Amino acid sequence: MISVELQYKQAIQELVRCVALTRICYGDWHWKLAEAYVNLAQGYLQLKGLSLQAKQHAEKAKEILANSIESPCHNKADIFKCSLELFYTLGRALLSLQKFKDASENLIKAERLSKEMLQCGNIVKEEWIEIQSRIKLSFAQLYQGQKRSKEAFPYYQKALEYTEIAKDEKSLECVQVLRELAGVEQALGLYDAAISHFSRAHLIILSKDPSPEEAADSAHFIARAAAASGMHDHRDVAEKYFQESMTSIKDSEGAERAKFLSIQDEFCSFLQTTGQKERAAMILRESLEAKVGAFGDFSPEVAETYRVLGRADLAQGNNSGAYAKLKKCVQIETFLYGSQDKKTLATQHTIDTLSKISEAAGKSRQSVKAKVAFCTSAPQYTMPGRGRHSVAD
């Protein structure tokens, strides 16, 4: 079976071939060559995530279109469609490169051209709706990329509306839009709506026969949103989906095993914030051996577990247990980050404080013992002129 990565590589090679063949067939300044470059740009962007290459190929297509030789046999509708995809693709590439102003200009051109094409009958309504779903989502991501959640929000709503019409409301295409919309709702404090949209995306994922990892990720989105709200009403929801997420990959190995332990750590943090510290500590103690196996003895995950367990012991007054665990933690942190790192210094400060407390307590106990010893060994004096009473007296 061919891997997805190899399929993508082969697809890019075919798109490159298509550019070469189109140049041979139509020459250097034909709109079909521009179309081939646009397709290649989309391939680099969607299949490889290579935004800079996509931008370069889209700009080459733009140059060809600007200098293409007009011919009576040219189909204007096809050229318009090529231009539309060019503006959209260039906008997407610039968005990925965080060139927001230039991205916005190209997306506006794509949107304006799509409306003109609809009015002139160059595209049918169904095709226009599909284009709108992509453009609205791009605008939403553009605003969200600039931390402008209020402006992104209505575009996400429109993107979802058009995607539901174009692809069906239970399609996988809706999942990305639902999750991103939910993320914006979280940023705006609309926690109920966010949980609702994450839950809807989860139901779509579960209906598509997902892998254990996909099912775990989907449930994890809901758990995180419910936990992040900090609302008492959402605690049961958070616990339910944390458990569902962990159950999906509980018996997995490799990367999935590491993912299980990471989600479990997040669950323990949630338990601590909701006052269930003893339960969190118990789970973390049981996870130590598995973490060493998954991440290694000297790993951030193991260090963090020792740190949390040390603090739990400290809260319960178990200073000796806290000292031992924090000592382990600081050894790992020193190895990972160095002795002068903020984390290492903070842990070492706690250990030093504990040492001083233990030392002070030890001196106090010695002082008490000395006093007791002095009192018990001192000679017993009687009052002058009085003797001890015997039993007979």
Q: CATH number of the domain that 1 lies in?
A: 1.25.40.10
CATH code for position 343: 1.20.58
Do both 90 and 47 map to the same domain? yes
Residue 377 lies in a domain: no
Residue with tokens 């002795």: 339
Is the residue at 339 inside a domain?
A: yes
Residue 315 pLDDT class (50, 70, 90 cuts): confident
The distance between the two most distant Cα atoms of the chain, rounded to a whole number of Å, is: 142
Token look-up 């060809």 returns 64
C-alpha to C-alpha distance for 96 and 52, rounded to whole angstroms: 9
Boundary-marking domain end, from 258, 292, 326: 292
pLDDT of residue 70: 62
Instruction: Indicate the range of 4-8, 97-101, 298-302 predicted with least confidence.
Output: 4-8
Residues 114 and 33 both lie in one domain: yes
Q: Evaluate if residue 173 carries a pLDDT over 90.
A: yes
In a domain, 383, yes or no: no
Name the residue with higher pLDDT: 173 or 364.
173
Asked whether residue 379 is domain-assigned, the answer is no
Which amino acid is it at 371?
Answer: K
Dist CA 71 CA 262 (whole Å): 61
Residue 165 pLDDT grade (very low, low, confident, very high; cuts 50, 70, 90): very high
Check whether residue 14 and residue 115 sit in a common domain.
yes
Query: pLDDT band at 82, cuts 50/70/90?
Result: very high
Residue whose tokens read 């160095």: 338
* Residues 161, 151: Cα–Cα separation, whole Å: 17
Find out whether 139 and 155 touch, Cβ atoms under 8 Å: yes
Average pLDDT of the segment spanning 3-27: 92
Task: Say if CB 155 and CB 134 are below 8 A apart.
Answer: no
Instruction: Kindly report, residue by residue over 245-298, the tens digit of the pLDDT.
Output: 999 998 777 767 889 999 999 999 999 999 999 999 999 999 999 899 889 999
Residue 390 has pLDDT above 90, yes or no: no
Same domain as 288, residue 252: yes
375 lies in a domain? no
Claim to verify: residue 186 and residue 269 sit in the same structural domain: no
Q: How sure is the predictor about 381, in pLDDT bands with cuts at 50, 70 and 90?
A: very low
Q: Which residues contact 357 (CB under 8 A, 6 or more apart)?
A: 319
Q: Name 71's Cβ contacts closer than 8 Å, sequence gap at least 6.
A: none
Are 152 and 200 part of one and the same domain? yes
The 10 Å Cβ neighbour count of residue 216 is: 22
Q: Which of 142-151, 167-176, 211-220, 306-315 has the lowest mean pLDDT?
A: 306-315
Number of folded domains that form the chain: 4
Residue 359: pLDDT above 80? no
Indicate if 193 and 260 belong to the same structural domain: no
Which pLDDT does position 355 carry in this prediction? Answer: 85
Average pLDDT over residues 319-339: 91
Say which DSSP state 393 is in. -
Q: What is the pLDDT of residue 384?
A: 47
pLDDT at 71: 60
**Do 103 and 133 have their domain in common?**
no
Determine what percent of the chain is predicted with pLDDT higher than 70: 89
Query: Could you tell me if 100 and 142 are in contact, meaning their C-beta atoms sit under 8 angstroms apart?
Result: yes
pLDDT of residue 255: 67
Given a cut of 70, whether residue 69 has pLDDT beyond it is no
Domain span at 249: 212-292
Tell me, yes or no, whether 142 and 258 share the same domain. no
- Cβ atoms of residues 388 and 382 within 8 Å: yes
Examine residue 384 and state whether it is found in any structural domain, yes or no: no
Residue 345 is assigned to a structural domain of this protein: yes
Cα-based torsion angle of the residue sequence 256, 260, 265, 268 in order, rounded to the nearest 10 degrees: 170
| 118 and 86 fall within a common domain | yes
Cβ–Cβ under 8 Å, residues 344 and 330 = yes
Amino acid at 341: D
